């Protein structure tokens, strides 16, 4: 249910308005685009499958997705959200399923490029860690 996949283009222009990348310089946004692929997903596509090994993470550019723990819908995420990163950071199976609720445009990072992103850009590293901490707090993990 994934549509086209290609190297990210028009990186700076496309990423400038994405909240996950707020505060990044044009040079940093260009590097982000170099590390990522543009991916389209149809409604119903499984972006992240609970229990599976994580090989990619995504930043949502357009559309929305439901997050499920087991059969329970626990959140809806949209533009500016990153999904799938927890499994890449923790090197563990996915702890939730994420399903496209609408047609989506995504920025995809495979494991290698996600690691490069975190190593090369302290802002990206900090943003991912902030995201993970907020999710743990929301789950009661303080």
As a whole number, mean pLDDT of residues 53-77 equals 94
The pLDDT value recorded for residue 89 is 86
3-state secondary structure of 19: helix
Q: How far apart are CA 65 and CA 122, in angstroms?
A: 27
From the list 101, 115, 3, 2, the residue with the least C-alpha distance to 57 is 115
**Band of the pLDDT at 12, cuts 50, 70, 90?**
confident
From the list 61, 4, 71, 11, the residue with the least C-alpha distance to 35 is 11
Q: How far apart are CA 108 and CA 87, in angstroms?
A: 14
pTM of the model: 0.88
């Amino acid at each position: 249910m994934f549509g086209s996949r290609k190297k990210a283009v028009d990186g700076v222009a496309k990423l400038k308005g994405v909240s996950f990348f707020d505060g990044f310089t044009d040079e940093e946004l260009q590097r982000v685009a170099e590390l990522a692929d543009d991916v389209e997903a149809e409604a119903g596509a499984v972006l992240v499958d609970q229990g599976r090994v994580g090989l990619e993470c995504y930043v949502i550019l357009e559309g929305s997705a439901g997050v499920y723990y087991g059969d329970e819908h626990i959140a809806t995420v949209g533009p500016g959200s990153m999904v799938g990163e927890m499994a890449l950071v923790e090197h563990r199976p996915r702890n939730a399923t994420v399903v496209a609720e609408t047609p989506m445009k995504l920025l995809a990072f495979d494991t290698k490029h996600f690691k490069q992103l975190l190593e090369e850009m302290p802002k990206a590293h900090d943003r991912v860690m902030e995201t993970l901490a907020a999710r743990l707090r929301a789950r009661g993990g303080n």
